[in-house]
Structure 1
Amino acid sequence: MVQRSTEARHPASEGLHKAPADAVMSALLEAQTAALHSVRLAFPALEEAGVRAAKALQAGGKLAYVGAGSSGLMALSDCLELAGTFGIPPERTPMLFAGGAAALLHMTGAVEDDPALAQADFIRANLTKGDVALCLSASGTTPYTLEITRLCKEAGVFTVGIANVADAALLRAADLAVLLDTGPEVVSGSTRMGAATAQKLALNMISVQAGLLLGHVHDGYMVNVIADNAKLRDRAARIVAAVSGQSETASRAALEATKGAVKPAILVARGRSTAAAVENLEQSYGHLEPWLKD
């Protein structure tokens, strides 16, 4: 049997059980930092993934996240943040996690081997041609993720395979392969460490790139944020003031007029009516830049 790189022995593993705490911490930090460097080599694929994701969402489609175990948790953490950060409705970003909600509280390995669960989750997500699926598996061999990938391709869903082992089955099966070659873990085989850290960063890059292309980020501000609590309402007012160049009082009034929608509120604060602001944003496909030049 060929040993996967994620299962190999890390140089810092030997004697780890008897090493002093500061040496253990240093080894873990250095290994995590080294794992992050693998992401840089994947920039071209990550950029394409971001473009594909943005196009699917812009067209009214879905961006699905797929995974099991630690890879699934990394996918879930990015997936859940898209609504709050970019204002993307949760129904447009389904999460296909092996074992479902129950597995989040008591993770078991068996669920990732069951193709029937994958098939049921795929049907429930209702993915169709034009959608995009981000499929994660550190080893690139997880049956659940491979089955979802297969079903997606049959349905015309564009698949992005993210794995930490070169030439893995997932990378071969996906339409777009993203290799994060993080190598061995300090705790051998524990891919919740370096492999997962690299996956999380890669997903951040994909989703932020998609958010930028959708016009949901302007000058680093979350201009499509959903302000559903006091902290976010205050943040929304500060964003409107900063981007529009108007006072916070005027910005809060604009937000009141747009029922909390930040993008149109920025244009309202600059003198447009709510209807005109909405129409302008439709014309520019959600981007503020064309309307901030006057």
Structure 2
Amino acid sequence: MQNTEQLSSYHSMLDTYNTQDLVNAFVDDQANAVQAVQAAAASLAAAVDAAVPRIRAGGRLLYFGAGTSGRLAMLDCVELNPTFSWDKSRAVARLAGGDDAMNEAAEGAEDDEAAGATELRALAPTANDVVILVAASGRTPYVVAALQAARAAGALTIGIVNNPGSVIDALAEIPVVLDTGAEVISGSTRLKAGTAQKIALNSLSSAIMVRLHKVYGNLMVDMRATNNKLVRRALRLTVAASGATRTAAREALEACGYEIKTAIVVLCCRIDPGEARLRLAQAEGSVGSVVQSGKA
């Protein structure tokens, strides 16, 4: 039996708990999710190192999943654009059952092998693409079929699963096994298995973006300032990165179309926005490289 399907020996009388003990049982069990991801950290690092050269060469991040796993994968995919200004065409998620399954469970769709393979092939994957396949069981037919099609196309396959020894664990080029074990509510992988998947997905995609120079120091310098809150955040980030006054930072941001990276280079190197963009392009978007060379 899969670890995620086993009966928990710790909470066999769960339905008799008082409310505080009930909440504590769920919250305390989440610590195991963190431990599972920590145990898989080396695999996540290997996935980042394998993915980055492909993405730099023009590849895409392609996410495939079903049910809770697929929704978490889609969430990670969608957030790359506002957080890192990542081109939407280079981060694509496919969920078993289609977009409607995001809002309404379509449990039967996970068994549709043909759909998994067809939807993967429809994206015309290349050897530079990175396919992230998420399935708690590690054997979801829709996801397995997408994995096989991705491998046939030569794409990098990263499998994120919660059961060691599963089909996806065996077939993925880089398996990331999050062995979270039995759930407080037996078999409900929306609990700590899902939590571990979210941590792993966040860590994987964020580390890739850091390696692609979307972050300067620990500052989110490539985000999109699309509302008032984010405009204020852009100003704070520009001040923190450049040491400029708020007035100077605001003027630079306005001159640069609220491109934070460009504004930082303008302020630190005392050049115009056009030259700042050129230098950033030559440095593959690395603010640190441009600033250091500008001070030399």
Match of 2:280 in 1: 281
- Alpha carbons 1:56, 1:63 under 8 Å: kept: no
Distance in 1 separating the partners of 2:79 and 2:10:
34
1:149-206 per-residue CA deviation (whole Å, 9 max, x = no partner) reads: 0000011110001111111100101000111000000100000001010010011111
Between the aligned residues of both structures, percent identity stands at 35
TM (norm. structure 2) is 0.95
The alpha carbon displacement at 1:259 in A equals 1.6
The alpha carbon displacement at 1:275 in A equals 2.0
Residue pairs, 1:12-51, within 5 angstroms: 12-51=10-49
Q: Which runs of 5+ in 2 are unaligned?
A: none
- Alpha carbons 1:140, 1:165 under 8 Å: kept: yes
Work out which of the residue numbers 66, 70, 73 in structure 1 matches 2:71: 73
Distance in 2 separating the partners of 1:52 and 1:217:
19
The alpha carbon displacement at 1:12 in A equals 2.5
- Alpha carbons 1:96, 1:125 under 8 Å: kept: no
1:1-33 per-residue CA deviation (whole Å, 9 max, x = no partner) reads: xx1110001122301111111111111112111
Match of 1:204 in 2: 202
Deviating above 6 A after TM superposition, structure 1's stretches of 4 or more consecutive aligned residues are: none
- Alpha carbons 2:55, 2:128 under 8 Å: kept: no
Deviates further, 200-209 or 49-58: 49-58
- SS in structure 2 opposite 1:221? coil
Work out which of the residue numbers 105, 108, 125 in structure 2 matches 1:107: 105
Distance in 1 separating the partners of 2:37 and 2:3:
16
Distance in 1 separating the partners of 2:226 and 2:255:
16
Deviates further, 134-143 or 250-259: 250-259
Aligned residues: 292
Match of 1:291 in 2: 290
Q: Is structure 2 residue 248 aligned with structure 1 residue 250?
A: yes
Match of 1:134 in 2: 132
TM (norm. structure 1) is 0.96
Q: Which runs of 5+ in 1 are unaligned?
A: none
- SS in structure 2 opposite 1:102? helix
Work out which of the residue numbers 3, 6, 12 in structure 2 matches 1:5: 3
- SS in structure 2 opposite 1:94? strand
- The Cα RMSD (Å) is 1.3
Residue pairs, 1:93-242, within 5 angstroms: 93-242=91-240
- Alpha carbons 2:121, 2:149 under 8 Å: kept: no
